[in-house]
Every structure is written in C-alpha cells, then in structure tokens.
Homo-oligomer: A and B are copies of this chain.
Amino acid sequence: MSDYIPVHGQRPRRVTARMVAEAAGVSRSAVSRAFTDGAYLDDKKRTKIREVAAILGYKPNALAAGLQGGRSHLVAIFVGDMRSPYDTAFVGQLVGELNALNKWPILIDGGGQRAATAIEDVLRYPLDALILRGGSMSADIVSQCTKYAIPMISSGRPIEAPDVDNVCCRHSDGTKEMTETLIRQGRTRFGFLAGPADFYSSAIRKGGVLEALKAAGLSLVAESLGDYTVAGGHSSAKQLLSSHAIDALICANDAMAIGALTAAREMGLAVPKDLSVVGFDDISMASWPMFDLTTVRNPIDASVTEILNLLERRLATPGKQSETVFIDTQLVLRATH
C-alpha cells in the first residue's frame, strides 16, 4: 500500500500534512481542513484527501496541534496510593470516562519518593487539568497550577485555594449514620480502627462516630491505629480485640475491616452475634460472599461524574469561583453488623 521505504537503523519520520498535500495535489491547508469538522471544504476533495491520508498513514500530530493555543487534551491524574483497592478502582473508572470524553490521562504515582519531581515534570505539558485522587499535594504545586491556569480538581482531601474545585464525600455523615444504626441495634461498647495518623479521611470518619456516640451518651471504649491495609487491619484488630471487650468495631476503611473480620473469626468471636464489624468505602471485595461486609458506600460513580462535571464547568468558565461538591454516602447493610 504505502510506498514508505524503511531506512535501516534510522527512525522513519512521521507522515505530515505537507506530504499528504503533495501526494494528493492539494494545499497543506486543505489537508488540515479535511481533518477539521465543520471546515469549508469540497466534499469530494475531503474524501480524496482522507483516502490519500489513510494510504500514507497520516494522522494530525496532536503535539503540534496543542501548540496552537487550544486545549492539549492531556489531563494528569495524581494517585495517592496505586496499591489501595479503592484508589485503583476509582482511577480505573476515571480513566475510562476521560477516554470517552477524548481526554488523555497521564498517571502519576503519588506513592513513590519521586512523586513531587514527577508532577513538576508533568507540568511541563500544557495540561487541560490536574486531578488529585487521595494523597496530599504541596502548597507549592498548587500555586504553580494556579499560576499556569491549570484547573485542579481534588477528590479526597479538600484543598482550600482560590482556583481549586473539590469533590468531597460526606465521610462523617456516613460513619455517624452507621454508628447510630449500630446503637439502635443495642451495641454499646464501641471500638474504632483508625488509619494512619495523618490521613484526613480517617480523622473525619472518626469524627462522625464520636458525634453519634456522644449524642447517645456513649463514648469510645477502644481505639487502635492501622495502616489502611488488610494485613494491618488484621493485626491491629487482633491486639484491640484481645485487650478490650467491645461489641462493635468500626473500621476507617474496608480493607482494614476485612482484616479485622478475619481476626475476629480466628479468635472465635461470632460476627455479628458477639461483635459488629463494619467498614467504609464498599470496595468490590466487601461484597464477596466470604465477607459480606456491612459498610458505608463511598460512591465512585458519583464522585467521578462530579469530577467530570466540575472539569467541564471549569473549562467553560476558567475564571469561575471554586466549588466544592459533596457526595452522599449510603449505608450498605450486609451480614456483619
């Protein structure tokens, strides 16, 4: 088909609009127009150009197009923890929806030591937006984005800055409601399995628990620190359960709840008869038959949808005021409460 002749050991250059123009006997502009929807161009000519382009293997170069001052269609996603089931599910959904909108997500692993420099380097690309999923971002990076007029949307820890939009789950309402439900069932001795000390989500989820307990004239009997993983939840729960007599264990996330549930069963505790174990997030494993975990859903669909809505609004009106959209949680009452 193509008369492209490979030169040994040398990288062949990309086919350009100029080459297509020559091959089709038209001007370069005509080629550009042939690939621009709604541009003035004779239908027959457009068809002809597209044929030639297909044979030569021509595609407009998105880099050169992005230089024009329009949008680059590149969106960076900063992922706090690529090993967390919730974050990966979240990013999976987000990537799919961005793809559908013709936005191309560049992923940055926020877990590595080089995360800060990585984001600095990615900012060399004129991004359409920067989306934060969990993790924390230095104030410096935030101000850089503001300066470059790169829209930032944060999901997880809210960022208080003039041009940053936030999507925020009503964490404390979720744990409050869950705690109230457990109290209504007759639970009175509550334990809380917290996440790492500096995790915003853990602290605020605990806040909801305390609120509900206080309203009922109760208080927390025991608390232990975990690391948001299954293994961490397993060992933390083992310690907590062996030293405290409680009848309800609220975990700051599902991964730890799954670990805690296993620990409780290993210790001969009947769940939910002797002990309630509940989590937060409703990750896919929570519904696995061997866990059937009662939890608070932190809905990914709704969060991702809102991120895309905010992105659209921000791109339409770059100077608009920052917004914070709150996402409602849902109680998922399965078999462990």
A59 to B117, CA, bound (A): 13
Are A82's CB and B95's CB within 8 A?
A: yes
Q: Is the CB of B67 within 8 A of A289?
A: no
A61 to B262, CA, bound (A): 52
* A11 is an interface residue with CB less than 8 A from chain B: yes
Q: Does A273 contact B (CB under 8 A)?
A: no
A67: which B residues are within 8 A, CB to CB?
A: 61, 63-64, 67
Contact of A125 among B88, B104, B288 (CB under 8 A): B104
| Contact A319-B107, Cβ < 8 Å, known A60-B124, A124-B59 | no
Residues of B within 8 A of A230 (CB): 285, 288
Q: Which residues of A does B touch, CB under 8 Å?
A: 2, 4, 6, 8-14, 57, 59-67, 69, 72, 74, 79, 82-83, 88-89, 91-93, 95-96, 99-100, 102, 104-109, 111-112, 114-115, 118, 120-126, 144, 147-149, 230-231, 234, 258-259, 262, 265-266, 284-285, 288-290, 317-319
28 A-B residue pairs with CB within 8 Å = A2-B147, A8-B319, A10-B319, A11-B318, A14-B126, A14-B149, A57-B148, A59-B120, A61-B67, A61-B124, A61-B125, A63-B72, A96-B111, A96-B112, A99-B108, A99-B109, A99-B112, A99-B118, A100-B114, A100-B118, A104-B121, A104-B122, A104-B125, A105-B106, A106-B106, A230-B288, A234-B289, A258-B288
Closest to A148 in B: B14
Residue numbers in B under 8 Å from A11 (CB-CB):
149, 318
A12 contact set on B, CB distance < 8 A: 149
A80 CB to closest chain B CB (Å) equals 12
Additional A-B contact list (11), CB under 8 Å, known A60-B124, A106-B106, A231-B289: A11-B149, A57-B144, A82-B93, A83-B284, A96-B109, A100-B118, A107-B107, A234-B289, A258-B288, A259-B288, A262-B290
Chain B nearest Cβ from A83, distance in angstroms:
6
Report chain B residues within 8 Å CB of A108.
95, 99
- A266: chain B residues at CB < 8 Å are 289
Q: Which residue of B lies closest to A144 (CB)?
A: B57
Complex Cα–Cα for A236 and B60 (A): 48
Contacts of A319 in B (CB 8 A): 6, 8-10
Identify A63's interface contact among B66, B91, B107, CB under 8 A: B66
Within the complex, the shortest CB–CB distance from A155 to chain B, in Å, comes to 17
> Complex: how many Å from CA A114 to CA B6?
32
5 A-B pairs with least C-beta separation? A82-B92, A62-B124, A96-B109, A57-B147, A88-B88
Complex Cα–Cα for A274 and B175 (A) = 42
**Which B residues are CB-close (under 8 A) to A2?**
147
Complex formed: what's the CA distance from A191 to B2 in Å? 51
- Contact status A4-B82, CB under 8 Å: no
Distance, CA A82 to CA B125, complexed state (A) = 25
- List the B side residues contacting A4 at CB < 8 Å: 147
Give the Cβ gap from A329 to chain B, nearest Cβ, in Å. 22
Closest to A75 in B: B106
CB contacts (< 8 Å) of A126 on chain B: these are 14, 61-63
